[in-house]
């Protein structure tokens, strides 16, 4: 990553990045580093070294290491929500399967960081717990928004309870499968996750 300036063209003038652009650039780098590091390993020193800038500049943008980590995590989970959005067209179950497939691929590509966020939320870190809950709500609530006609999941209190339980079960299954996929192919995992949601909801209707 370049320092605070960047070329606008091969021979053009060098322009300084605006503060918002520079902060976004640093967050993007933080998210890429989080893919292969735990949250505890994601320090301002590490980012400063990777970005080729001073620690003081990072403190200017993020205040302290806690604010920095929260900003990176919020960016990472925002990427998760976007990347796992179901396609606009197709049958409801096909769209659910595509969304589940994108989630599995995201966890595989960002395993270390994702696990550390999950553990941070479960371990009493209030900020991580809040971010985690907001993200889970976004992922589960959109099931009802996307399936507005209730073609596979009716929007009822019972269905919302089962969807939340399914989400927790799916997360545990995927995290375990990533570390030990023996006996279960990716396609089998996806089919099991997608098919189990309407089956579980049917148990309460």
**Residues of the chain predicted below pLDDT 50:** 1-14
**CA–CA separation, 122 and 119 (whole Å):** 5
Domain ranges of the chain: 16-83, 88-202
CATH class of 88-202: mainly alpha
* In the block, residue with structure tokens 């939320």: 121
Q: Which CATH number fits domain 16-83: 1.10.10, 1.10.1660, 1.10.287, 1.10.3470?
A: 1.10.10
Which neighbouring-strand residues pair with 15? 6
This prediction has a pTM of: 0.84
At 102 the pLDDT is 97
């Amino acid at each position: 990553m370049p320092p605070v300036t960047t070329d606008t063209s091969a021979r053009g003038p060098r322009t300084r990045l605006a503060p918002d652009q520079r902060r976004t650039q640093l967050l993007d780098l933080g998210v890429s580093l989080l893919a292969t590091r735990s949250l505890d390993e994601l320090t301002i020193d590490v980012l400063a070294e990777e970005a080729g800038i001073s620690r003081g500049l990072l403190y200017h943008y993020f205040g302290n290491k806690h604010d920095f980590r929260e900003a990176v995590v919020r960016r990472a989970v925002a990427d998760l929500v976007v990347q796992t959005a179901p396609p606009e067209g197709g049958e409801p179950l096909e769209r659910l399967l595509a969304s589940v497939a994108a989630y599995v691929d995201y966890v595989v590509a960002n395993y270390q960081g994702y696990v550390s966020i999950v553990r941070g939320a479960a371990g009493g870190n209030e900020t991580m717990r809040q971010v985690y809950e907001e993200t889970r709500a976004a992922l589960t609530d959109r099931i009802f928004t996307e399936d507005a006609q209730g073609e596979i999941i009716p929007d009822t209190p019972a269905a919302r309870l089962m969807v939340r339980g399914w989400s927790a079960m799916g997360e545990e299954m995927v995290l375990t499968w990533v570390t030990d996929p023996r006996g279960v192919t990716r396609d089998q995992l996806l089919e099991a996750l997608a098919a189990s949601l309407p089956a579980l909801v049917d148990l309460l209707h």
